[in-house]
Structure 1
Amino acid sequence: MIAELTGMDVANASIYDGASSLAEAALMAHSVTERTEIVLARGVNPLYRRVVATYCDGPGIRLRDVPAPEGVLDAEAAAKLVGKKTAALVIQSPNFYGCLEDVAAAAELAHAAGALLVVVADPVNLGVLEAPGRLGADIVVGEGQGLGVPMSFGGPNLGVFAAKNQLVRRMPGRLVGATVDKDGRRGFVLTLQTREQHIRRAKATSNICTNVALCALMATIYLSTIGKQGLQRVGELSAAKAHYAAEQLTKVPGVSLRFAQPFFKEFTLALAKPPASIVAKLAKKRILPGVPLKTYDRTLADCLLVAVTEQRTREEIDAYAAALAEVLA
């Protein structure tokens, strides 16, 4: 199901979370290409970028950042950074700011330099958005917590990892294949186990010791139950409600969209007053308005990242807009 959603040939049995999935993708790209640089779009989740930096420090892989002054990858700046030393170009779509990236253009840029394209994607969105694999991605990773896995006070989460078939022997984690037993009954087997506990360390692709099997099972049940039409409906409702929320919130004096880019279910607001104080005041009204971005990017100190899912109602969105108008007055 993950392979189908991402447009990839094969998906593993999961990794710890979205951040570790991306870090493993960076190491995999380094292993496949034998190149020493990873070019990361600024629109990639900053927490993910920190984990990638930790993973890449040991092998001495250099990370290079591409700015996103308008909310999406600066193509001109990326073209200057992606070159013969680049193992992979990494983008996220929708990105951390909620903006949709041009995945096909990024794939063309990466492949022209002989690099891989790694795309961070939310599998919940892929019931509506085009699969990254069909747009040229070589590796697709992401956070699968939204596939029916409860927040549970911060974890455990579910790392999604999928790739093209020609990269399969470089993939981290466990690959499960279908087979038949001696009586001809359908069964499943661990086809590839590329972790260092199972094979010689020098040939291992990863030191990840296990996968989040319970969360992967939850996601499998969720996708099987909701089905293709259900997942598409979740995406359509999320997008429609997010755009309604953006419309209502930007009617409030002192509120505007920070980026003039297409978005899906997250968007960035610029506020006339400090976002942290707004969040504190609305929390007292039992409203979680979003995430202040100053912690992640000081150039966005006046910005608030807002997410709207299919679970929100028109009444809740209208109440948020009214409360925001009150605290900004």
Structure 2
Amino acid sequence: MRYLPLTESDRAAMLADIGVKDVDALFRDVPAAARLAEALPLPRHQGELEVERAFTRMAGKNLSAGCAPFFMGAGVYRHHIPAAVDQLLLRGEFLTAYTPYQPEVSQGTLQALFEFQTQVAMVTGMEVANASMYDGATACAEAAIMACRVTKRRKVLLSGSLHPHYVETTETSLRFTEMEAEPLPPDPLGLEDLLGRLDGDTACVVVQNPGFFGGIRDLRPLAAICHELGALLVVMVAEPTSLGLFDSPGAMGADIVVAEGQSLGMGMNFGGPGLGLFATRDKFVRQMPGRLAGQTLDVDGKRGWVLTLSTREQHIRREKATSNICTNSGLCALAFSIHLTLLGGTGFTRLAELNHAKAVQLEQKLSQVKGLRVLPDSYYNEFAVHLGDEVKAAEVVDRLVDKGILAGVPASRFYPTWPELAPVLIVAATEMNTEDDMDRLVAALKETLS
């Protein structure tokens, strides 16, 4: 028991104090299907070198994004990250997990967060942004809760364009409150009637733009109706590079804008960690969750940075707290900020234009595949395709993996109980996709679907 300092009697005493029979009882809320019935088939112990070699062999069985044509997206996107991003992150004053509570010893970190907030406010078209959230999903949930605080209403309307993971996270966050989430069915064609679902009890409408199935929309009409009825419009952006091409959510009337910042400065990292962006109107700033880094002057008149707003239970009265978020994703936020700074305004727009051009090129090539049709009328760098009524997208993806191609994400992975979505495949194209990648995908689809 070299690495387990507790004895059997120690564990028995703790379980008795907790009031459970055994350790398994601590996991009763985890579905049985998600728990291992027995230990993984790994050697009980080996030396460090042997372990490294064993894991290298196991990793070699994966088909990684950098080794194959890659068209997967659905919330996590593959973009080129300049080498300067990681090199700057490795600087000692940045590479720390510690949260900057003491501004007098963390001026550099606070200044970086201040710059990050400025950039987020600019690209979202909002007046104020916080120092980041954990990821896009939790930022979405926090936005819904904030809207209920602001409007003093309880119903949150979740668009069918919203990523299912964001929907589930928001529902979980609201489950044990007086607030109520009302999710709409998935909307691959952009036909949902959001306006008809609004009423006097609606605190906010949460929409994603571009949507989960790739469609983009003008949010101005929806914003106008929301405001007429006293509700807030929350806009979720899963692919932040799109903010370089379209009118900002703020310009279209959004009250709160949240986003997943992974596309800038961060790799896909098997789905994490992420970076939650959160921005809003200045009039709502005291209801905003998280923390806010601000600029001030010290007693000598020199510019400095402080935590201007930090409204969790640790800092203010519990009943006045706006969130229980413990920290911000500081290092991820810095990576985002460095990448965006390296791009500059012109580069950010050019990156967005290139992404859209790649998606248009991909759609044109996919039009050669008989029976395949693109679902959304308009899109950014991602769209859903219907492969045919009798086709299961998940099976097609598996067959294309055998051909060395990562073709996209089947909608059934997120909507297993919706048989009408079984033929739907979500594909994404970024600046990383070459014409040869697209030609290989089209040739493989032709062969597989024939």
Identity of aligned residues (%): 45
SS at match of 1:35: coil
- Cα deviation, 1:211-256, whole Å, max 9, x if unaligned, reads 1100001001001111111111110011011011011112111311
1:214 partnered with 2:331: yes
Quick one: distance in 2 between partners of 1:71 and 1:254? Answer: 17
Q: Please identify, of 118-127 and 291-300, the stretch whose mean Cα deviation from structure 2 is larger.
A: 291-300
1:315 partnered with 2:436: yes
SS at match of 1:192: strand
Written as runs of structure 1 = structure 2, the 5 A alignment for 1:273-292 is 273-292=391-410
SS at match of 2:141: helix
Quick one: distance in 1 between partners of 2:322 and 2:412? Answer: 36
1:80 partnered with 2:196: yes
Q: Which amino acid aligns with 1:324?
A: L
Query: What is the root-mean-square deviation of aligned Cα atoms in Å?
Result: 1.4
The structure richer in strand per residue is 1
Q: Which amino acid aligns with 2:313?
A: E
SS at match of 1:22: helix
Give the alignment partner of residue 98 of structure 1, picking from 214, 223, 239. Answer: 214
Structure 1 unmatched runs, 5+ = none
SS at match of 1:182: coil
Match in the other structure for 1:124: 241
1:248 partnered with 2:369: no
- Cα deviation, 1:168-211, whole Å, max 9, x if unaligned, reads 00000010111233333332111000111211111100011111
- Cα deviation, 1:245-277, whole Å, max 9, x if unaligned, reads 011112111311123x21111100111321111
The alpha-carbon deviation at position 67 of structure 1 amounts to: 4.6
Quick one: distance in 1 between partners of 2:166 and 2:248? Answer: 21
8 Å contact from structure 1 (residues 37, 64) kept in 2: yes
Match in the other structure for 2:423: 302
Q: Which amino acid aligns with 2:244?
A: G
Q: Please identify, of 294-303 and 14-23, the stretch whose mean Cα deviation from structure 2 is larger.
A: 294-303
Which structure has the greater CA radius of gyration?
2
Quick one: distance in 1 between partners of 2:336 and 2:441? Answer: 30
Match in the other structure for 1:237: 354
Q: Which amino acid aligns with 2:442?
A: A
Match in the other structure for 1:224: 341
1:114 partnered with 2:230: yes
1:198 partnered with 2:328: no
Q: Which amino acid aligns with 1:285?
A: K
Match in the other structure for 2:144: 26
Quick one: distance in 1 between partners of 2:294 and 2:240? Answer: 21
8 Å contact from structure 1 (residues 23, 52) kept in 2: yes
8 Å contact from structure 1 (residues 41, 73) kept in 2: no
Match in the other structure for 1:48: 166
Structure 2 unmatched runs, 5+ = 1-118
The alpha-carbon deviation at position 86 of structure 1 amounts to: 0.5
- Cα deviation, 1:260-307, whole Å, max 9, x if unaligned, reads x21111100111321111111111222111111113231311100001
The alpha-carbon deviation at position 68 of structure 1 amounts to: 6.0
SS at match of 1:132: coil
Match in the other structure for 1:65: 183
The number of equivalent residue pairs is 326
8 Å contact from structure 2 (residues 188, 384) kept in 1: no
8 Å contact from structure 2 (residues 355, 430) kept in 1: yes
Match in the other structure for 1:136: 253
SS at match of 2:263: coil
TM-score after normalising by structure 2: 0.70
1:246–1:86: structure 2 CA closer, same or farther, 3 Å change rule? same
Quick one: distance in 1 between partners of 2:149 and 2:242? Answer: 30
SS at match of 1:252: coil
Match in the other structure for 2:121: 3
The alpha-carbon deviation at position 73 of structure 1 amounts to: 5.3
Quick one: distance in 2 between partners of 1:258 and 1:137? Answer: 26
8 Å contact from structure 2 (residues 187, 213) kept in 1: no
- Cα deviation, 1:143-171, whole Å, max 9, x if unaligned, reads 00001112223211100000000000000
Q: Which amino acid aligns with 2:213?
A: Y
SS at match of 1:134: coil
SS at match of 2:271: coil
